[in-house]
């Protein structure tokens, strides 16, 4: 498996992964989020969407870029520079095979290379597989918020 930044030509294939995951247990995504335009912006404007591929097929994607929340939760040091990890998606047929763990390991190294002090993320409390993955990597819940998209 290789992990690298997604290219504009990858947008539709990554969007197909996201679309297929909508409606999965714990997945808060819907017809309004994430859209193909959002994926394109992650690639072309934010330059922060990564893809995991195997034999030329994109099997997973994730966003790693500047943490842009207007308000840092109290548990985050306001003097530190945090990356945001979001929009992590793995093709259904590749789930439960360590793909998300491998992708996350790569992104943790990438965040360090990019000079981030840490990684913040938002995950739905009903998304039990994602919660277990992040806890396995030592993430701790430091607050809750209600998001509107």
In this prediction the pTM is 0.90
Q: If you classify domain 2-136 with CATH, what class do you get?
A: alpha beta
Other CB atoms within a 10 A radius of the CB of residue 122 amount to: 14
Assign 111 a pLDDT band (cuts: 50, 70, 90). Answer: very high
Interval 22-73: pLDDT, tens: 999 888 899 999 999 999 999 999 999 999 999 999 999 999 998 876 555 6
Please report where in the chains the tokens 């039990």 appear, as a residue: 128
Q: Give CA angle at 96 (91, 102), nearest 5°.
A: 80
Closest CA relative to residue 127, chosen from 14, 3, 19, 22: 22
Interval 127-149: pLDDT, tens: 888 899 999 999 888 777 666 65
């Amino acid at each position: 498996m290789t992990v690298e930044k997604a290219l504009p030509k990858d947008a539709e294939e990554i969007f197909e992964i996201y679309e297929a995951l909508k409606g999965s247990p714990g997945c808060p995504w819907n017809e309004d989020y994430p859209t193909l335009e959002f994926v394109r912006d992650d690639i072309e404007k934010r330059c922060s969407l990564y893809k995991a591929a195997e034999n030329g097929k994109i099997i997973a994607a994730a966003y790693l870029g500047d943490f842009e929340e207007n308000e840092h939760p109290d548990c985050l040091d306001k003097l530190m520079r945090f990356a945001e990890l979001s929009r992590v998606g793995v093709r259904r047929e590749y789930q439960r095979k360590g793909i998300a763990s491998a992708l996350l390991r790569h992104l943790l190294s990438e965040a360090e290379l990019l000079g981030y002090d840490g990684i913040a993320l938002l995950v739905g409390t009903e998304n039990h597989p994602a919660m277990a993955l992040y806890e396995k990597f030592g993430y701790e819940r430091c607050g809750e918020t209600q998001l509107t998209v």
